[in-house]
Amino acid sequence: MIGEMETDKRDRGRQSFAKKQAAERIERLSRRESTAGQRAYGASYTKFVRTMRLVLPLIAAGIVMVLFLWPGGREEAIMPVQENEARFKDHKIVKNELLNPEFESTDKKNRPYKIRADRAVQGEQNEDLIMLEKPVGVMTMENGSTLQVTSKAGAYRRDTERFFLTGDVDFIHDDGYRLRSAETHIDFRKKIAWTEKEVTASGPDVTILAMGMKADNEKGELVFTGPAKLVLDKGLGGLGGL
């Protein structure tokens, strides 16, 4: 009887030890998967943030077009180019209005860009206000990739050096990264961009849903304001379904 009890006790001890070893192996495996997942996530997120930080340089390129259209002190009316006159013969041209403006140049880093819009108008009451209809900007980066920005409308204040995009604002990088919001503000003096509207930012393997966004070009920071949600499209193991 005593022998059977001792045998049973040893069996329970071996089972307990085996369970403990199994638990430790699972924990080590989970820790390795978590570390690998975090590394993969970190690399993906870092690339995502670096890509989205290209927003400010492209918008700055758009301002070059605005200054090109309305240099300081210019008083004469801006008229459409000759080839557009027939197309818009039924459209009433007002003072300081340009139809289908398009501009090409390079930035300080020698990156080529193109800016166009359906219409550009200088404010009648405030000449520091420039309004754009359906602006589109495309910049080619050093590695050959492109970044495009589109919106339904835009407005630039020359006195405050602030730019405002509204209506389906869409930043698209050809690597598959995209940031969308209802509106975006840019302050060129402070070199920041922000929105207090809902933001959807996505990449090949990550999606961020947030209630706002702030980008600081000087600090190289891109902050999404909460409540925010991060979705890893590949379901990386060990991250608990973040």
Instruction: Give the 3-state secondary structure of residue 141.
Output: coil
Q: Angle at CA 205, nearest 5°, toward 204 and 211?
A: 95
Q: Which residue has the higher pLDDT, 104 or 87?
A: 104
Give residue for tokens 């520091």.
128
Q: What local confidence, expressed as pLDDT, does residue 204 receive?
A: 77
CA angle in degrees (0–180, nearest 5) for 50-55-60: 135
Average pLDDT over residues 153-175: 85
Residue 8's pLDDT band, with cuts at 50, 70 and 90, is: low
Separation of alpha carbons 124 and 1, rounded Å = 105
Mean pLDDT of 158-163: 82
pLDDT band at 86 (very low <50, low <70, confident <90, very high): very low
Q: How many CB atoms lie within 10 A of CB 66?
A: 23
CA distance between the termini of the chain: 55
Q: Tell me the average pLDDT across 111-119.
A: 82
Quick check: 55 pLDDT over 70?
Answer: no
The most confident of the ranges 5-14, 20-29, 67-76, 223-232 is 223-232
Region 41-45: what's the mean pLDDT?
Answer: 55
From residue 181, give the alpha-carbon distance in Å to each of 36, 219, 226, 233.
Answer: 32, 22, 15, 21
Q: Find the mean pLDDT for residues 136-162.
A: 83
Locate tokens 């980066």: which residue? 141
Q: What is the pLDDT averaged over residues 83-98?
A: 49
As beta bridge partners, residue 199 has 181, 210
Top-confidence residue, 25 or 146? 146
Question: Shortest CA distance to 55 belongs to which of 199, 233, 206?
Answer: 199
Q: Measuring CA to CA, which residue among 140, 102, 104, 105 is closest to residue 119?
A: 102
- Of 156, 120, 116, nearest to 137 by C-alpha is 116
Topology (CATH) of 55-232: lipopolysaccharide transport protein A fold (2.60.450)
Written in H, E and C, the secondary structure of 12-67 is HHHHHHHHHHHHHHHHHHHHHHHHHHHHHHHHHHHHHHHHHCCHHHHHHHHHHHHH
Measured in degrees and rounded to the nearest 5, phi and psi for residue 92 equal -80, 120
**Ramachandran region, residue 23 (left: φ > 0; alpha: ψ -120 to 50; beta: rest):** alpha
Buried b (16+ CB within 10 A) or exposed e, 191-209: ebbbbebebebbbebbebe
What is the pLDDT at residue 93? Answer: 42
Q: How far apart are CA 15 and CA 21, in angstroms?
A: 10
pLDDT at 146 over 80: yes
- Amino acid type, 127: E
pLDDT surpasses 80 at 218:
no
Domain locations along the chain: 55-232
Residue 217's pLDDT band (boundaries 50, 70, 90)?
confident
